[in-house]
Amino acid sequence: MAPIDRCLASMARLSLTQFSQVARPSATSIPRFLAPALLQRRRASVVRIKKTVKKRPLPKDFKRHNLEKTQFPRFSLCEAMRILRAVEVGQPPASIKYEIHVNLKTSRNGPVIKNSIRLPHPVQSDWQIAVVCPEGSDIATAATAAGAVAVGEEALFEAIRKEEIEFDRLICHESSEKALNKAGLGKILGPKGLMPSKRMKTIVTDVAKSIRDSAGAADFRERQGVIHMAIGQLGYTPDQLKANVQALLKKVKSDCSDISEESSKEVHEVILSSTHGPALSLSGKFRDEDDEVAPEALSHVM
């Protein structure tokens, strides 16, 4: 008879063999809700709610400060010229210009002012003018005699397409208006402010007269409620600068009155500066009583 320990060992080996032959269910066949907690470990998804910030709507009109309540000083024309001339000491007077900024009380979406003016004392008198007119015609001959640097249609259009623009102003005769529109030069001439239009009085019937009137003329346009342009050279006398400022303001006020009542415009502030100088708000006076410098002291060449 075999010992009892050998019998127990053989029975243990038999039970292990039978247990190993039993098919175990795979992990994938186990339903997820019966799987151990270790197999169900997942990261919670974080949902971030973006806070939408409402943008404040822009005001209907451009913001303008109350000049009576502001603490910024305002200067007479002679005092402003004295300060700007002191800043520009050492600079060539012919290359330095007085610049004027006219702030308007106007709406953002209203019509803008765009025009040209011939100042009593032109800032730039050497305009290079080109004329769009039929080539070889009497109009082209008259334009050349009046001082036009380039005349014609197709040859002039081709030079503009190549951006060989060697003129400061472009005038179009009314007989060539269709040819100009057909050429499609608005993308080139528009950003430079050279595209002829009837509103700017650059599409004319008398080319020679327009060239004579354009000599010394200056264009101005309202941008963001402000009109900016050169108003004089540094060597101008106070009387010359005063005449130019008055002529411009008269023209701007006239254009403001021509606009419909739905979009009212009016002059709010006039600021004078120079090429490298600060911006000085003008008080509307030629000279204050307490000014230390007389107009005669600003009349000499720098």
According to the model, what pLDDT value does residue 90 have? Answer: 81
Q: Do domains 70-124+217-301 and 125-215 have the same CATH topology?
A: no
Instruction: Give every CB contact of residue 155 below 8 A, 6+ residues apart in sequence.
Output: 135
Distance CA 260, CA 252 (A): 15
According to the model, what pLDDT value does residue 15 have? Answer: 56
According to the model, what pLDDT value does residue 249 have? Answer: 94
CATH code of the domain occupying 125-215? 3.40.50.790
According to the model, what pLDDT value does residue 172 have? Answer: 92
Residue environment code for 139-149, b if the CB has 16+ CB neighbours within 10 A, otherwise e: bbebbbebebe
Instruction: Give every CB contact of residue 19 below 8 A, 6+ residues apart in sequence.
Output: none
Domains of the chain: which residue ranges? 70-124+217-301, 125-215
Distance CA 122, CA 97 (A): 12
CATH number among 3.30.300.130, 3.30.190.20, 3.40.50.2000, 3.40.640.10, domain 70-124+217-301: 3.30.190.20
pLDDT per residue, tens digit, the chain (302 aa), is 455 656 555 665 655 555 555 555 555 555 555 555 545 555 556 667 777 777 777 778 888 888 877 778 889 999 999 999 999 888 776 678 899 999 999 888 888 888 888 888 888 656 788 899 998 888 888 888 888 888 989 889 988 888 887 888 889 999 998 999 998 888 888 888 888 888 778 888 888 888 877 766 788 889 989 999 999 888 888 999 999 999 999 999 998 888 866 678 889 999 999 988 899 999 888 887 767 777 777 776 55
CB 248 within 8 Å of CB 101? no
For every residue of 98-138, DSSP letters joined together read EEEEEEEE-BSSS---EEEEE-SS-S-----EEEE--TTSH
CB 62 within 8 Å of CB 225? yes
